[in-house]
Structure 1
């Protein structure tokens, strides 16, 4: 059994998540979406062996990398991918941005579902495209797509591309086959491309299954850019590596050409080595991790039940989206930082409308989750 209860010292000046805040010596950081667990031993060993060589030149993925990557896709998602259709890039958001710039024109409309990870919307606007937002709707404690609103906005704005997220950050949804097919049908009928952020694909909990939208049909495969990475799954985000799957030859050439023009393309040697080791040896570690995280989620849900904090159903990711509107605070994230010394992500990072939401990262030892919950529940306004 992997010891995910171990407290790992992350107290270094370079650590973004654990950066000190003046006046707070007992901060619990639950904001940035990386984990407080050590990466698998095989990944650490592969990086150490590479570092010992003492030469860190340019690198290129070989057949062993391709086998590890496509083997993972097949084992974990039942997805057959031709390695020739994969572009290697320094990051998923970069892959999204390059796809926007290569596959659409200035002033084209691109649609997203909010709330959504903030840098995606910024990439759309920063590229000179028109950002169209269709809000997800809460039904009970679960978000759903408003398909009528989605299709109406597609037609009214002549939308050229959908940027999709599955599993969804921060809503926690793992979209069903039926939902994916309905999304795909709207895109096909309206001659749209799909760029799908699937960086959280390995974090899927009991009763749910990750289905790459590109795997559902030949028609969808031809219009989809799928952005994947081992960095979230194996806690190697600082290594900067992503794999962008584009089956259509002309689309792939266009994205590759644009990436080459920016100078940001390919994998660094450490990203290559770590990803290959993770996808070759990481199955058991990943299975145990998902089980542990599911326990953390259930703990948070049970302890917050009956309070003024409403927890959204989490089917995937390790990020809990919490409605704190019953507190009546202007800025709930600041309230918890001031009163509990816990740093959450602000809801407005994901949507301007989400002023009363916070995002809680539970990818840390259970003792830390319990300590955070103790502090939250000690606040009279919360109970």
Structure 2
């Protein structure tokens, strides 16, 4: 192993939102172990560190530009990892996937139009709809006992309404950790094509896939589906560089791409100098694929440790088997606690800072989201604290 994920640098005092803002986020328990914000505690690949250090040695940090090779490098990455033939001319850039989703909503709908989301889902989806004064249309996932699934009959009913213009798709799906199968994606594409609904597909976690699953970009299914789809991607989750604010939107339709770029121009998009450098380092010459493989092996080990610990010591809390991401969806229904009391149990009793399920909407009131993108020793400490609180409560 070339990367040591067990011995990690201290992030305190580095302007880390995750570590330096715990007192403001959890004022009732400022000593929590932070397992909430969706970044990891792992150093990014040495190739990225060295490229940034080299540029940082130059003492002028004026306006930057995106390297001319960046689009071709992303296309190469998508072809190699996802077998998707992306034309570099389909690509434009923005300061983060959430910014991109807001731009898509503004570009392809009007105030009052409906935007479909599929809760439980990453809560900026809901915020993006509300802040742009669109109508929130809920196609709630249901838990079939094995995994969370899409209610396609309801999706079709929502898509039939001509006022509903966009589907915000999350694949892999945060927080329920689904990697949608080809047949599921084909059904989504078929419904949206039939009813002229634009697909905005957030695929930011697409590199973080566990054994037995395969990420399929929905736009890769057919030219027809590609023509109604904008795909949002970023190296930020893969390489832990979210603070560099560099993402891409892929729109095979020339008309859609032009409308997106007009919207981004209105938002005064300015490239992040170091984001552009990190992008090139991440994706050049085969990219940092060895890092990704070692990262996923370590995260899978963290999941297995978590799952076994819960089964042996806290059987009333279950971790639904993840298909992707380092964000675990904990089913706490066996505890019999309402959401606010459940949050107090994790945060105040156990001193473990996680996010409550109700933030994500849908049937999630008995769930908590836990980030296991940390050293195993940190995960072990968090679980031991949780077990102590569990025993004191007499569960």
- 1:328 Cα deviation after fit: 2.5
Deviations 1:101-150 (A, max 9, x none): 01111211110100011111111111111110011010113101111121
Name the residue aligned to 1:267: 271
In structure 2, C-alpha distance between the alignment counterparts of 1:145 and 1:352, rounded to whole Å: 12
Name the residue aligned to 1:350: 360
Name the residue aligned to 1:33: 38
Out of 226-235 and 3-12, give the one that drifted further: 3-12
In structure 2, C-alpha distance between the alignment counterparts of 1:214 and 1:320, rounded to whole Å: 27
Name the residue aligned to 1:329: 337
Q: Is the 8 A contact 1:309 1:324 kept in 2?
A: yes
Name the residue aligned to 2:386: 376
Name the residue aligned to 1:176: 181
Name the residue aligned to 2:297: 291
Q: What are the residue-to-residue correspondences of 1:218-367 with 2, within 5 Å?
A: 218-263=223-268, 265-280=269-284, 281-305=287-311, 307-330=315-338, 331=340, 332-351=342-361, 353-367=363-377
Q: Is the 8 A contact 2:162 2:195 kept in 1?
A: no
Out of 26-35 and 222-231, give the one that drifted further: 26-35
> Aligned in 2, Cα 1:23/1:127: closer, same or farther, shift over 3 Å?
closer
In structure 1, C-alpha distance between the alignment counterparts of 2:218 and 2:150, rounded to whole Å: 15
> Aligned in 2, Cα 1:352/1:13: closer, same or farther, shift over 3 Å?
farther
Name the residue aligned to 1:110: 115
Out of 137-146 and 64-73, give the one that drifted further: 64-73
Structure 2: 5+ residue stretches without partners: none
Q: Return the TM-score normalized by structure 1.
A: 0.96
> Aligned in 2, Cα 1:157/1:307: closer, same or farther, shift over 3 Å?
farther
Counterpart of 1:164 in 2: which secondary structure? strand
CA RMSD of aligned residues (A): 1.6
Q: Is the 8 A contact 1:164 1:196 kept in 2?
A: yes
In structure 1, C-alpha distance between the alignment counterparts of 2:30 and 2:160, rounded to whole Å: 53
Deviations 1:22-65 (A, max 9, x none): 57574211000000000101101111111111122222223332
In structure 1, C-alpha distance between the alignment counterparts of 2:168 and 2:22, rounded to whole Å: 34
> Aligned in 2, Cα 1:382/1:98: closer, same or farther, shift over 3 Å?
farther
Counterpart of 1:194 in 2: which secondary structure? strand
Out of 334-343 and 304-313, give the one that drifted further: 304-313
Name the residue aligned to 1:14: 15
In structure 1, C-alpha distance between the alignment counterparts of 2:197 and 2:244, rounded to whole Å: 33
- 1:76 Cα deviation after fit: 1.2
In structure 1, C-alpha distance between the alignment counterparts of 2:14 and 2:240, rounded to whole Å: 18
Query: May I ask how many residue pairs the two structures share in their alignment?
Result: 382
Residue 124 (str. 1) matches residue 124 (str. 2) = no
- 1:66 Cα deviation after fit: 2.6
The ranges of structure 1 where at least 4 consecutive aligned residues each deviate by more than 3 angstroms after the TM superposition are: 22-26
Q: Return the TM-score normalized by structure 2.
A: 0.93
Residue 55 (str. 1) matches residue 60 (str. 2) = yes
Structure 1: 5+ residue stretches without partners: none
Name the residue aligned to 1:76: 81
